[in-house]
Amino acid sequence: MGLVSGLEILAAARAGKYGVGAFNTNDLEITQAIIEAAEETRSPVIVALSEGGLKYGGDALVALVRYLAERASVPVAIHLDHGSSFASCMRAIRLGFTSVMIDMSHEDEETNIAETRRVVEAAHAVGVTVEAEIGRLGGIEEHVVVSAEEATLTKPDEALRFMQATGADYLAVAIGTSHGPNKGKGRPYIDHDRIREIAALVPAPLVMHGASGVPSALVERFRTAGGEIKDASGIHEDDVRQAVTQGIAKINTDTDLRLAFTTAVREVLRDTPKEFDPRKLLGPARDEMRRVVQTEVDVSLEKDGYILVGKVDLLLGGDGKLELLDFKTSPRPKDSPELIAAYERQLCTYAHILEQRHGKRVDRLLLYWTSEPRKADALMVLPYDLARVEEAGRHFDDAVRRIQAREFAVTTPPEPAICKECDLRMLCRSEGIITMTD
């Protein structure tokens, strides 16, 4: 799918009650780790660059991120993290970012609203979506330094008033998390009641900053390899899982990647002191970061463990229901029941495979038009009908039999769809069968 706006990813996440990881990058290896992990898990992802990252990598870093994002097989958004001014957001938009954050949470509410609205108006004019913040997280990240005394939790009524006044697309909320590796002693307290109260008033996707888990095993490896870090503690994965069912759609992670990168490099230098090839240092660091991203994605997406090919994902909804969610990049068809019926048949075919071959009962079929995320009917729930699933299953099984019996001719490359009705090209790839056509 490649490069998309932030809202195209996050509106679906909020509607489907799952979270999408936003990971900060500063170089090639971090970017590769993020996007490769997303592709391996068949998950959408947001690649974030802070102003510090932009200063470090310059325009070339943005071009590199765009190059990899545009060629990714999953939806990817490029996001400016904690933009400090209108000018900073405009620079990011000119460089090709598809999402920007304007962070005026340190200002009074009137100034925060005015500056956020200014960015929203300019960004929306060119199809870029906007994150804003009300309330203040504690901790340190780049130019953002907030003491415990200055940190304030987001008030639900203020959040509603702010979003109505600014038109921002998603909102960062202060609910107990903090930036950096030192999030308090023991397990940090996350105010889940506050998340629910804000989500009940604000339908937009909510954002959890400072969500790094700071895994104890990784911290211990860092220390064993010669690193020094005191009082390291992070957000418990159960709190992340619970938060995404309550309205959190974007999960920001930076510290965990920094820790993984540095730990891997330290271990290589410790174990092979004669090594001086940068690739032998950076390669293991990239692999370690990829593992961290995969873990974070698994926590936030709450997937059931079975991943379909194509643009369809099996998701575990907040009520425990299994949902087949199909992202459509085309505009929602107007007055076209035939096309909707075709989409339904495709989803029924996937449901048949899951139920008959993998023992997974699907409860809901969902279509989401990513090109129209602001519309109330962008998410469409299709009726689940067992008879339709069985009919689609018979059609698919017969087509597979004909393929195995070589009743179709092999093509090169093996790409064309055999049957548009059930999207057999993707289904055959998922079953490990060579694709053929008449």
Rounded-to-integer distance, Cα 347 and Cα 394, Å: 14
Residue 271 falls in the annotated catalytic set: no
> Inter-axis angle of helices 156-166 and 192-201, to 10 degrees?
40
Q: How far is CA 2 from CA 25, 206, 294, 335, in A?
A: 17, 23, 19, 29
Q: What are 384's two structure tokens?
A: 């689940």
**170-173 and 129-134 as β-strands: parallel, antiparallel, unpaired?**
parallel
Q: What are 367's two structure tokens?
A: 């279509």
Report the candidate in 178, 167, 85, 96 with the shortest Cα–Cα distance to residue 131. 167
Report the candidate in 175, 196, 80 with the shortest Cα–Cα distance to residue 131. 80
Secondary structure (3-state) at 142: coil
Q: What are 57's two structure tokens?
A: 């990598």
Indicate the residue type of 90: M
Catalytic residue among 27, 59, 81, 438: 81
Place of tokens 């202060």: 174
Rounded-to-integer distance, Cα 404 and Cα 63, Å: 45
Q: How far is CA 131 from CA 15, 99, 173, in A?
A: 17, 8, 11
The residues carrying an active-site annotation are 81
